[in-house]
């Protein structure tokens, strides 16, 4: 776990957004990495619940998990038996996660394969601090090997917690500048991505894309990655947080279970945007409307 200020209990009341569009207080988040058990949704949900409680003890208000953490990456396994290896909102196997959120007052964004009628989606499931399921975001940019198994999402998604607007992404989404830019244009203060990045080129991609998305849009970027092997990939860990100036704040190791806990600071965000005026200058030169996007409040 990274160094953080002295832990405090998660705060339940909403913190309103300040009149200038910035949150009223810091938001402590945890990005976590752990070895997923291939195809074992109950075991992975129980592990996620334990990680939520551990993060809450460090004062985290929100916990971010890797892409398809509930099943492991495992596209062929999931496609072979979607009823067993994918989930739907309200799935009883998600109950431990909901209970951990409700018990601790902590929100969670959990990666899962989701059954959507006859289709499969790669999704991020958002749970509020009361344990309620709020929404799901479906990955919009599918990697080439995923296209035979999944259907892409059609809209971006912003969730709000304690006055912080958080744009959601899944893995390959983060490689497309337009995806994080759409979140920034929707007023997002941070961009949260659960992913699978592998050793070698995947590690290089993550260390290129995330600081770029941060500085391009002057927002925090947060990555939750896998560790170990999943779906035939040897993953590289390195779950991390970058500041709105693109600089690395904290990161996990490459091969071990770990939590990275960081305070997102509205004063840092404000100061950076006053210095790096990319978003303000963009508004002066373009009149394009933002892409379709949904917005939900976690608490």
Mean pLDDT of the chain: 92
The three-state (H, E, C) secondary structure of 52-73, written as one string: HHHHHHCCCCEEECCCCCCCCC
Give pLDDT, residue 6. Answer: 39
Q: Which residue has the higher pLDDT, 6 or 48?
A: 48
Tokens describing residue 102: 């409700």
Residue 58, pLDDT > 60, answer yes
Give pLDDT, residue 288. Answer: 63
8-state DSSP, 280: H
Residue 29, pLDDT > 50, answer yes
Q: Which residue has the higher pLDDT, 2 or 260?
A: 260
Alpha carbon distance 28, 64 (integer Å) = 12
Residue 104, pLDDT > 50, answer yes
Give the model's confidence band at 1: pLDDT under 50 very low, under 70 low, under 90 confident, else very high: very low
Give pLDDT, residue 3. Answer: 42
Give pLDDT, residue 16. Answer: 56
CB 139, CB 150: distance < 8 Å: yes
Percent of all residues in the chain with a pLDDT value above 90, rounded to a whole number: 85
Mean pLDDT throughout 17-28?
82
Tokens describing residue 81: 């038996």
Mean pLDDT throughout 189-215?
97
Percent of all residues in the chain with a pLDDT value above 70, rounded to a whole number: 92
Give pLDDT, residue 270. Answer: 97
Give pLDDT, residue 283. Answer: 76
Report pLDDT digits (tens) over 203-222. Answer: 999 999 999 999 999 999 99
User: φ, ψ for residue 133 (rounded to 5)?
Assistant: -75, 125
Q: Which of 15-19, 43-47, 105-109, 165-169 has the lowest mean pLDDT?
A: 15-19
Give the model's confidence band at 17: pLDDT under 50 very low, under 70 low, under 90 confident, else very high: low
Q: Which domains does the chain have, with CATH numbers?
A: 27-297 (3.60.110.10)
Give pLDDT, residue 220. Answer: 98
Mean pLDDT throughout 23-27?
97
Mean pLDDT throughout 100-118?
97
Closest CA to 268 of 284, 250, 292, 249: 249
Give pLDDT, residue 94. Answer: 98
């Amino acid at each position: 776990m990274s160094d953080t200020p002295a832990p405090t209990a998660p705060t339940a009341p909403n913190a309103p957004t300040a009149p200038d569009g910035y949150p009223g207080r810091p938001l402590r988040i945890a990005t976590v990495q752990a070895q997923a058990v291939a195809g074992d949704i109950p075991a992975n949900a129980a592990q996620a619940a334990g990680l939520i409680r551990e993060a809450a003890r460090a004062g985290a208000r929100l916990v971010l998990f890797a892409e398809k953490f509930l099943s492991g990456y495992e596209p062929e396994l999931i496609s072979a038996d979607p009823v067993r290896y994918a989930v739907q909102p309200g799935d009883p196997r998600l109950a431990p996660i909901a209970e951990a959120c409700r018990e601790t007052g902590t929100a969670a964004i959990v990666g899962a394969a989701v059954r959507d009628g006859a289709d499969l989606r790669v999704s991020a499931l958002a749970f509020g601090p009361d344990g309620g399921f709020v929404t799901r975001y479906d990955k919009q940019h599918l990697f080439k090997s995923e296209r035979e198994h999944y259907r892409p999402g059609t809209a971006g998604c912003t969730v709000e917690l304690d006055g912080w607007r958080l744009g959601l992404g899944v893995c390959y989404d983060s490689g497309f500048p337009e995806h994080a830019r759409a979140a920034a244009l929707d007023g997002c203060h941070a961009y949260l991505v659960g992913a699978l990045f592998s050793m070698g080129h995947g590690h290089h991609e993550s260390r290129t894309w995330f600081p770029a998305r941060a500085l391009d849009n002057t927002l925090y970027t947060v990555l939750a990655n896998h560790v170990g092997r999943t779906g035939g990939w040897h993953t590289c860990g390195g779950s991390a947080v970058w500041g709105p100036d693109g600089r690395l704040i904290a990161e996990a190791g490459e091969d071990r279970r770990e939590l990275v806990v960081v305070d997102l600071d509205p004063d840092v965000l404000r100061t950076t945007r006053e210095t790096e005026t990319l978003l303000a200058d963009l508004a002066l030169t373009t009149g394009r409307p933002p892409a379709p996007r949904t917005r939900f409040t976690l608490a």
